[in-house]
Structure 1
Amino acid sequence: MPDDNERVIRDLFAAYLANDRQRVSDALADKFRFTSPFDDDLDKAAYFERCWKDTGWIARHEIERIFVRGDEAFVTYHCLARDGRSFRNTEFFALKAGKVRRIEVYFGAAFRDGRFEPQPR
């Protein structure tokens, strides 16, 4: 099961990178919930309305680590935008029966030239 859940997560990241909204939607459970520092417990429809933008701005994701324990996982990744901006986030995933039921995003620091950028105070 952990290998299957890791595959689901990697496939989801690939769907985002391909800007394939249908594939992303198919990976999410009907009762999917999404939380980030800007969004509190959005359902699937609200997630797509508020958060889904054209992901063509993403040049690549570098998944640094995935820790899977049963139907839960943490993923840390570095995202590089086509304009050179980059950031690093960690996300918590809850999965069931091959679908993503919940994602909680913890925003990380911006990167520049391989180094963290100080955050404004």
Structure 2
Amino acid sequence: MNDTYPEPAAIARQVYEAYVNKDREAIEQLIADDFHFTSPRDNRLDRATYFARCWPNAHTVDRFDFVHLVEDETRVFVTYDLRTREGSAFRNTEILTIRDGKLIEAEVFFGWMIPHEAPDGKSL
């Protein structure tokens, strides 16, 4: 790890804070030019497409409650409960890859709504 840059977990936290604060300038500084974003709905979106498609969702974010935030060299494994400004919530897990103080890749794995839509001990 390069001592010049903050630890990957600190960069990850700054990315989520930018969403909460609706701070486009901050997140622009954190995301690398060669960034890619993948989710169940998106396959390796480039930086420009990510900002066009995903950043507008920042206006719905109230907060992230971290369930797990684990750093492994250049990767940060994050599970969070996202709370929206409208009062809904859901849980996702992401794998973030950080290089030279910048987010270069985000892989998102969708979770479930909170409260869970299936009754306790049951399936939908």
TM over 0.5: yes
Q: CA RMSD in A?
A: 1.8
* Corresponding residue to 2:66 among 63, 66, 69: 63
Partner of 2:41 in structure 1? 38
* Corresponding residue to 1:77 among 80, 83, 98: 80
Q: Does 1:4 align with 2:7?
A: yes
Q: Which is greater in Rg? A: 2
Q: Does 1:20 align with 2:23?
A: yes
Whether contact under 8 Å (1:19, 1:54) holds in the other structure is no
Cα distance, 1:56 vs structure 2: 2.6
Question: Structure 2 stretches of 5 or more lacking a match?
Answer: none
Distance 2:15 2:53 in 1: 18
Q: Label 1:56 to 1:50 Cα distance change in 2 as closer, same or farther (>3 A).
A: closer
Aligned residues: 117
**Percentage of identical aligned residues:** 35
Superposition pairs of residues 99-110 of structure 1, within 5 angstroms: 99-110=102-113
Find the residue that maps to 1:84 and give its secondary structure.
coil
Which runs of structure 1 show a deviation greater than 3 angstroms over 4 or more consecutive aligned residues? none
Distance 1:55 1:69 in 2: 27
Find the residue that maps to 1:107 and give its secondary structure.
strand
* Corresponding residue to 1:94 among 94, 97, 103: 97
- TM-score scaled to structure 2, two decimals? 0.87
Cα distance, 1:4 vs structure 2: 1.1
- TM-score scaled to structure 1, two decimals? 0.89
Question: Structure 1 stretches of 5 or more lacking a match?
Answer: none
